[in-house]
A and B are shown apart, each in its own frame.
Chain A
Amino acid sequence: MDLLEFARGPALQVAAYILVGGTLWRLIGIILLKEKPDFSEPRKSGGLPAALKVIWTRAFTADPFKKATLYPKMMAYVMHIGLFAVIFLFTPHIVFFEGWTGFDWPGLPNNVIYLLGVATVVSGIALLVRRLTSPVLKLISNFDDYFSWFVTMLPLVTGLLIPVRALFRYEDLLAIHILSVCLLLVWLPFGKLGHTFLVFITRGTTGMVFERRGAKT
């Protein structure tokens, strides 16, 4: 078994198991905590619509905070949109997903994806610079913040290097790229990257509580 076969085969499979298992463990650990009923008389109906509302609206910054948070917000938008496009709209990835799920969908031209990939890396660097220079972020950051940044950037960088082919064989670059994705999948449920799924709970529950009060969400 060569490196590429290993990466595509057992490595990816084990990483996927850890991703699913870790995510379920973390979610169950949180969801199983006991809930106390709220007996206060609601001003408005909360429930699922309120949760869905805030899951959507909190993606945008309220006017009073726009100026102060412009830089990290813009960079975060570029990073998230870029990651989505690179992961799900790159034709070779779609072919890969089709092999797993049987579904396919139209992708974006490769050049556009490369451009988005570069933009995503640049936004990542911009966010890292902010983390390393802002007194607030220097204080509150920990290992998770830096390691999560690293495992997110690695597949992007290794993916962008594949077409370069100057120093390595295509097969080796692809294997390294897939292994870096494995690392990302393995880490995702455990650290801050868990916000991929936790965001629905944090925003959703806040939406339900505050919308019920008729308060600002």
Chain B
Amino acid sequence: MTTVDGRHELDREAERLAYKPPEIRHDKQGDLDSEERINKAMYNFVKNFNTQTASYLDGCLHCGMCADACHFHVRTDDPRYTPIWKIELFKRTYKRQVGPFAFFYRLLGLKRHVTIKDLEEWQHLLYDSCTVCGRCSLVCPMGIDIAGLVSMARHGMFKAGLVPHELHETAKRAAETGSPLGITPEKFEERVEWMADEHEVDIPLNVEQADVLAVMSSIEIQKYPESIAATAKILNAAGESWTFRTDGFEATNFGMLSGNPEWQKEASMKLINTAIKIGAKTLVLPECGHAYMAMRWMGANMYGKPLPFKVLHISEYLADALNTGKIKVGKVDKSVAYHDPCQVSRRGGATQAARDVLKHLGVDHREMKNGGDYNWCCGGGGGVITIKRADKLRHRVFKLKMDQVEETEADELLSSCANCRQSFDDSQEHFSWDYKMGSLMEMVAENLEEGTA
């Protein structure tokens, strides 16, 4: 005698005995009622609309070409993953409530109201299946930046309390403790001391005045602490007056990824205030893609005026230090494939920096097909790596990366983003894949020429 599993319904329509697949989990935060959630989602989406974003929503031709640029669609053929469809609800509300012809749309009932069920369904489309990589923005014949619209839609989803739990909790922890992984200033200090001992390198911490403020991402501090030592070796070799600070060390910005502008601002201001306090002329961001977007291109707007210091991604710093002879590296006799982090290269404009560094390293750099600005995302950006329920889809999408990397037949695979690295490591384990992602910065640190280190 067996007991029927009552957790899932039997699928009576199926040709063979089958259980109906469990529904996708829809997460909710807070206790707002449905109507309030809808209103908050829509209000916070349109709140910061400007000419550009309004023209984007008005200008879509429904040509569907963005689907061909999206890794989630390309790997699944699921039309719901068409990038512009991910903001369909918001497009509809814009036309019905805000657009120039909103009156007619409402009068004639041309756009139906968005329901809470719709929004719940879209949680999967806006978070689990979009890494905000912006590849779709490059194919759009109207030049619509769809990734930018997804970020705005996330603002609405956050305020409506409709964020996947894991991402929400990570962002909340970052807001509460200053680090998405709960790394306290004391823990950071411990890690710095450990790395200083382990690698016999001076790591200045909490220096009161310095020209360069270096910061880290929690992923590096926790998973790839060698990055701390590598950063120190490089900045020491360059002869910089520099420091890490326990009052401003976290570069990641989960407020931005989850869609909460207030948390985003708090995280950015912490670094900005620390840099100003120590009189830094340059803020060097670590190997982290979204940290670059948050500070390099959005930091000043959080501050409300131009930043009184330069902001550089570590790959930009390295390129500059090598180009000007501040540091020198020995030649590395290897072939290398380089994975461009979307927010640094495609959306950040620093694509050339890593290539300059690779040139100085003398490696045989094998550009991937569809690499550089058109690179396929690792699949874990935009907070997707934190969302457990999205793992299966993320792994499926990762196949594109595996093919892209394997085609180069390079000895080593490098990137300059700890989030990409984490995403690669996770998938590498899942698929028992041969390639292990390495760090561009660490390769530089390991090959600093005698006398400079």
Select from chain B the residue with minimum beta-carbon distance to A194. B58
**Complex contact A39–B306 (CB within 8 A):** yes
Q: How far is the CA of A138 from the CA of B62 in the complex (A)?
A: 10
* CB of B139 within 8 Å of the partner chain: yes
Name 18 A/B residue pairs within 8 A (Cβ), A-sorted.
Answer: A36-B50, A40-B307, A63-B374, A64-B374, A65-B69, A135-B77, A135-B79, A138-B79, A139-B79, A143-B110, A145-B62, A190-B101, A205-B55, A206-B137, A210-B145, A210-B347, A215-B347, A215-B349
* CB of A33 within 8 Å of the partner chain: yes
Task: Give per-residue flags for A35-69: 1 if the beta carbon is below 8 A from chain B beta carbons, else 0.
Answer: 11011110110000000001000110111110011
- Least CB distance from B396 to A in Å reads 18
* CB of B299 within 8 Å of the partner chain: yes
* CB of B63 within 8 Å of the partner chain: yes
Give which listed residue, B51, B79, B300, contacts A35 with CB less than 8 A: B51
User: Which residues on the B side are within 8 Å of A62 (C-beta)?
Assistant: 138-139, 374
**Complex contact A140–B142 (CB within 8 A):** no
Tally inter-chain residue pairs, CB-CB below 8 A.
172
Interface of A is mostly: helix
Give which listed residue, B60, B62, B141, contacts A137 with CB less than 8 A: B62
Task: Give per-residue flags for A64-105: 1 if the beta carbon is below 8 A from chain B beta carbons, else 0.
Answer: 110011001100100000000000000000000000000000
Q: How far is the CA of A136 from the CA of B85 in the complex (A)?
A: 9
* Known contacts A31-B51, A61-B139, A140-B64; A214/B300 CB under 8 A: no
**Complex contact A203–B142 (CB within 8 A):** yes
Give which listed residue, B77, B305, B348, contacts A213 with CB less than 8 A: B348
**Complex contact B110–A203 (CB within 8 A):** no
**Complex contact A29–B349 (CB within 8 A):** no
* CB of A165 within 8 Å of the partner chain: no
- Least CB distance from B48 to A in Å reads 7
**Complex contact B68–A68 (CB within 8 A):** yes
User: Which residues on the A side are within 8 Å of B52 (C-beta)?
Assistant: 201-202, 205-206, 209
* CB of A169 within 8 Å of the partner chain: no
Task: Give per-residue flags for A167-206: 1 if the beta carbon is below 8 A from chain B beta carbons, else 0.
Answer: 0000000000000000000000010101100110111111
**Complex contact B300–A41 (CB within 8 A):** yes
- Least CB distance from B126 to A in Å reads 16
User: Which of B59, B296, B348 is packed against the most chain A CB atoms within 10 Å?
Assistant: B59
Q: How far is the CA of A166 from the CA of B374 in the complex (A)?
A: 54
User: Which residues on the B side are within 8 Å of A64 (C-beta)?
Assistant: 370, 374
Select from chain B the residue with minimum beta-carbon distance to A37. B301
User: Which residues on the A side are within 8 Å of B161 (C-beta)?
Assistant: none
User: Which residues on the A side are within 8 Å of B305 (C-beta)?
Assistant: 39
Q: How far is the CA of A33 from the CA of B300 in the complex (A)?
A: 22
**Complex contact B56–A38 (CB within 8 A):** no
* CB of A111 within 8 Å of the partner chain: no
User: Which residues on the A side are within 8 Å of B300 (C-beta)?
Assistant: 38-41
**Complex contact B347–A213 (CB within 8 A):** yes
Q: How far is the CA of A142 from the CA of B54 in the complex (A)?
A: 19
**Complex contact A209–B85 (CB within 8 A):** no
In the complex, how many residues of chain B place their beta carbon closer than 8 angstroms to a beta carbon of chain A? 64
Select from chain B the residue with minimum beta-carbon distance to A27. B100
User: Which residues on the A side are within 8 Å of B139 (C-beta)?
Assistant: 61-62, 65, 69
User: Which of B50, B141, B311 is packed against the most chain A CB atoms within 10 Å?
Assistant: B141
**Complex contact A54–B143 (CB within 8 A):** yes
**Complex contact A140–B144 (CB within 8 A):** no
6 more A-B contacts (CB under 8 A) besides A72-B64, A210-B145, A213-B349? A26-B58, A29-B54, A62-B138, A65-B69, A206-B52, A215-B373
* Known contacts A36-B50, A36-B301, A62-B374; A199/B349 CB under 8 A: no
User: Which residues on the B side are within 8 Å of A190 (C-beta)?
Assistant: 101, 104
**Complex contact B64–A137 (CB within 8 A):** yes
User: Which residues on the B side are within 8 Å of A68 (C-beta)?
Assistant: 65, 68-69
* CB of B346 within 8 Å of the partner chain: yes
Interface positions, chain A 104-147, Cβ under 8 Å from B, are 134-145
**Complex contact A43–B349 (CB within 8 A):** yes
* CB of B9 within 8 Å of the partner chain: no
User: Which residues on the B side are within 8 Å of A194 (C-beta)?
Assistant: 58-59
**Complex contact B145–A30 (CB within 8 A):** no
**Complex contact A41–B79 (CB within 8 A):** no
**Complex contact B55–A30 (CB within 8 A):** yes
User: Which residues on the A side are within 8 Å of B298 (C-beta)?
Assistant: 40
* Known contacts A41-B310, A64-B374, A216-B138; A139/B85 CB under 8 A: yes
User: Which residues on the A side are within 8 Å of B54 (C-beta)?
Assistant: 29-30, 33
Give which listed residue, A54, A192, A207, contacts B61 with CB less than 8 A: A192
- Least CB distance from B282 to A in Å reads 12
Give which listed residue, A35, A40, A202, contacts B144 with CB less than 8 A: A202
Interface positions, chain B 88-131, Cβ under 8 Å from A, are 88, 99-101, 104, 110
User: Which residues on the A side are within 8 Å of B346 (C-beta)?
Assistant: 215-216
User: Which residues on the A side are within 8 Å of B297 (C-beta)?
Assistant: 40, 213
* Known contacts A76-B141, A205-B52, A214-B349; A140/B59 CB under 8 A: no
**Complex contact B85–A201 (CB within 8 A):** no
User: Which residues on the A side are within 8 Å of B58 (C-beta)?
Assistant: 26, 30, 194, 198
* Known contacts A34-B50, A40-B299, A58-B143; A216/B62 CB under 8 A: no
